[in-house]
Chain A
Amino acid sequence: MPEPAALPSERSLWPVLMGGLLLLAAAMLFGLSWGSTDVNLLDALRGSDGTEWRILRYRLDHVLLAAVVGAALALAGMLFQALLRNPLASPFTLGVAGGGSLGAFIIISLESTALGTSLTAALAPWGIAGARAAGAFAGVLLTVGLVFALARAAGGVETVTLLLAGVTLNFICSAGVILIQALADSSQTMRMVRWSMGGFHPTGGQLPATLVLMGVGLAIILPTLRHLDVLSLDDRTAHLLGVPVRRTRAQIILGTAIMVGACLAVAGPIGFIGLIVPHTCRLLVGPDHRRLVPATALGGASLLLVADTLARGLPAHLLGRTGELPVGVLTAALGGPFFLSLLLKMNR
C-alpha cells in the first residue's frame, strides 16, 4: 500500500471551530454590551439598582434568541441547498414562508374576535405573541407536510417534484395572505406588516419553547449530517454510496420544518441568512460538510446576533428615537456587501 496522501478531505476542523466560536463570542459580547441605552456590560454587572440588571436580562434574551434562530436558519438553508442540489434554495423554499405567514395572519385577523380572545387566554402566559407563534408554527408544519404528501402522491419524492410542489403551495398561501390583508382593517394590516418585517420581541416563554423545538429538530437532523456530501451529488449516486435516500430526505425535511417553523414563530420571516451564510461559508471553508456545518451554524448565529443588536441600538444612537429597525434590513446590509466582496475576490 502506498503512503496515505495528504487528502483535502482531511483539512482540519479546528481552525473553523475556533474561528467560529471566537466570532460568536465577540458578537455575544457586543450584543450584551450595546443597545438603545448607554448601559454596558460592566455597568450591568455592577449595577446596584435593578434597572441595569433588567436591561442585561432583556439583552441576554435577545442575544440567545438571535443566536439560536440565526444558526437554525443558516443550517436549514445549507441542508435544503444540499438536499435539493440547488444553490438558490433557502429555508423558505418548500412553501415555508407562505404557510407560516398565513398561519400568523389568520391569528392576527382573529385577535379582536371572541375566538382570538379565548385562544390568547388559553395560551397564557405567552399571550398574543404566543398565539401568533403557534399559528405560524402550525402553518409551516402543515405546508411542509402537504408539500411532502403531494410530492409522494406524484410518484415518489423526487427533488424537482418537491421544489415545484413547494413553490406552488407558497403561491397559494401567499394568495391567502393577500386575501386576509385585503379584508383586514388598518390596525390589523399594520400588525401584519410589522410581523412580516421580522424581529425579536422576547416574552417569558419564548426562549425555552424555541430551544425545545430546536433541540427536537436538531435531534432528527443530526444522523443525516454525515450523508450530506454524498446526498448533494444525486439521488441514485447517494443510494449507490450507501445512503438510505428516502429516509434521509424525510428526516431532513421534517427536522428542518420544525426548526424553521420555530424561527418563523419567534422572529417572523428573516430572509437572506439561510441563503447567503451557507454560500459565504462554502467560499471560506470549502464544500465539505464536516467543516461547513459548524461554520454555517456559528456564522449564521453571529450575523443575526450582530444585526439584531444594531437593529436595537441604531435608532437611538443615530436618529435619537426609540424603536427598532427590522432585523432583515440589517442582515442584508451587513452580509450582502461582505458576500459580494468575497465572491469578487474568489473569482478574480
Chain B
Amino acid sequence: MKGIEAFEALAPLLKNEPTVLANGFISRAFFNVTDRKENFYMIGSMGLASSIGLGVALAQPERKTLILDGDGNVLMSMGTLAMIATCAPKNLIHIVIDNEVYESTGSQRTLSHEIKLEEVAKSSGYKQVMRVTRPEEIQPAYEKLYQAEGPVFLLIKVEPAFDASQGRVTHTPEEIRDRFMESITG
C-alpha cells in the first residue's frame, strides 16, 4: 500500500477529532487529501507530534484525540511512548504511518524495517496495538481501536511513494494554531 492510499482510507473515518500530524510528508500528504480545521500540521519540531498529541488528549479528556505520526518521529522520541502509556489517556489514538524511510528528505532509511514499533508501544504499556499492511484493513482496525480504551496504537505499513510535487501546507503557523484551537474550544 502506498502512503496516499492509507490517508485516503483514513480520511473518511475522521469526524471532529483533534489530530496532530507529524512534520514532513505526513502533514503535506494529508493536507492534500483532507484539510480540516482539526488538523494541527506540525511543520517543524520533529519528534514532537506524540508529545503535542498527549498534551491535547490530557487537556481534553472527553475528546477523542488522534496523533498521525511517522516512523522517523516515533524513533526520535521513543521515550514519549512511555509517557503516553504512563499518563494513559483513554481518549488517545496513536496512528503511525510507517514507510521505513525519512521520505521528505530523500528516503534515507530509518530503523523500522527491523524494529516493530507497535511492539515497542505494547511493551511501553499501550492498552492495545494493531499492525495493518493492506488498505482494506484500515477501517476495521481503526473502528476497533476507536471503541477501545486508550491509549491505543495503530501501525500502518506503507511503501515510500511520496509525490514531492505535492504542495506544502499553505496555512501560516498561526492560522494552523487558531483553527485548531477554535475546533477544540469554539
Do A and B assemble together?
no
